[in-house]
Amino acid sequence: MEEVHKKILQRNRTNLVRDLHPSNLYDGLLEKGVFTQDMIDEIKSAGTRRDQARKLVQDLETRGSRAFPLFLVCLEQTDQHSLAELLQCGAPAVQLQPATPNQVDLPVVRPLPLSLPTDVDHQRKDVVPVHPTQRPSLTPSPSPERESMRTRPPGRIRRDSIQSYKMDASPCGHCLIINNVEFEPKSELRNRKGSNVDCDKLEERFKAFNFIVEQIKLVLSALAQKDHSQYDCCVVIMLSHGTEVSHSRFPGAVYGVDGHLVPVQDITNYLNGRHCLSLQGKPKLFFIQACGGGERDTGFEVSPDEVEPSIGGADDQTDAIPMSSSSDSLSTSDELDARATLPTPSDILVSYSTFPGYVSWRDPQAGSWYVETLDSILEENAATDDLATMLMMVNHDVSQHSAKGLYKQMPGSFNFLRKLLHFQTQA
């Protein structure tokens, strides 16, 4: 597909996912050779109408130069005129020449990698169906479908066949925010200025995703004892100081306002399949804004091509515990997340604001780098992208920040989800 047409699809993806009726297009796209029957079946298996629309648009970008104009034709033929007009607005005029046996968009032939068999599936998407009368051959080459089946290891699950979690319950589920701002004097922990900004942002964001948002400062057991049968998901957000602890699953711990530690692995255990039966098989999401330790990352030099403008203020604070003999003018306020050995708890994702061992930065007025970026990414991309993709965007954006032009931060996550997760968004 022409690059300009790809950009048009990407620019209008939100509207396409929201308004497209893919089931009306399948026969036309198959008849015109845009997709094969196998690809149509894969799109149908994506799940809901929105999931099918999202996958159809993504796969369309791989289907050659004729795919975009043929897609417009199919939209017109199925009375989806508004979408056709939307895609044509600002697009260069395209003249669709009828395909003949001697005029077919052939794929660019590239050598297959020796060590990455999963890329065979991506190679398959680049192939445009070829008319069988196109050119006789004494030794017919295998079809893309057969080639990919032959080279794919037995039992391998294709990336484009991964299912999505059911996320259409109303409300979608509970979202618990634990926001520790003021700490008891005996804890010797600094108050976390700016954390209320984080809390307000996340409360509004998850309300927009149709969650029941609650703020408490008590134990998680009350949440685990709720009946989640009618819901599809559960979210826990921890905003506090943090530290490194001995662990066997998820690294790190967060501080209560009384100065006592709660390991992250204990937090996740409250809601796992063993202790909360009504959440079995459902996604359980944990977002941790807390330092992973006391170490400060000064980054490393990169080539000029990779340099992006740094963001961050001179007054940014960390969420690490204060160091008694620190001579640095920047305050500390979070702690290390321990190194992890990974288990296999299904349907759990823990997103950390920083890499284990390093501090997490917070602006006293604007809130933490991580939450500010997370909220922005969710607002801009939740209608089109899954959670794992959006967290990668968060990782990239936060990595461009710097405190005093020196200190860096790298978020990350422990992802044990088995399916794609798309939040509910307003139509």
What are the catalytic residues? 241, 291
Residue 139: left (phi > 0), alpha (psi -120 to 50), or beta?
beta
Do residues 224 and 270 lie in contact, with contact meaning Cβ atoms separated by under 8 Å? yes
Distance, in Å, from the CA atom of 363 to the CA atom of 372, rounded to the nearest integer, reads: 10
Length of the chain: 427
**For residue 275, which of 345, 343, 214 has the smallest C-alpha distance?**
345
Amino acid at residue number 366: A
Q: Strand 173-179 to strand 211-215: parallel, antiparallel, or no bridges (unpaired)?
A: parallel
* Residue 294: Cβ-neighbour burial (10 angstroms; 0-12, 13-18, 19+): buried
Do residues 100 and 62 lie in contact, with contact meaning Cβ atoms separated by under 8 Å? no
Distance, in Å, from the CA atom of 97 to the CA atom of 88, rounded to the nearest integer, reads: 18
Amino acid at residue number 144: P
Instruction: Give me the phi and psi of 198, to 5 degrees please.
Output: -60, -45
Distance, in Å, from the CA atom of 76 to the CA atom of 70, rounded to the nearest integer, reads: 10
- Strand positions, DSSP E, 264-323: 284-289, 317-318
Residue 311 in 3-state DSSP? Answer: strand
Distance, in Å, from the CA atom of 360 to the CA atom of 291, rounded to the nearest integer, reads: 5
The two most distant CA atoms of the chain are separated, in Å, by 85
Which long-range CB contacts under 8 A does 212-218 form with residues at least 24 apart?
Answer: 212/171, 212/173, 212/174, 212/175, 213/175, 213/177, 214/174, 214/175, 214/176, 214/177, 215/176, 215/177, 215/178, 215/179, 216/176, 216/178, 217/178, 217/179, 217/180, 217/257
Do residues 173 and 228 lie in contact, with contact meaning Cβ atoms separated by under 8 Å? yes
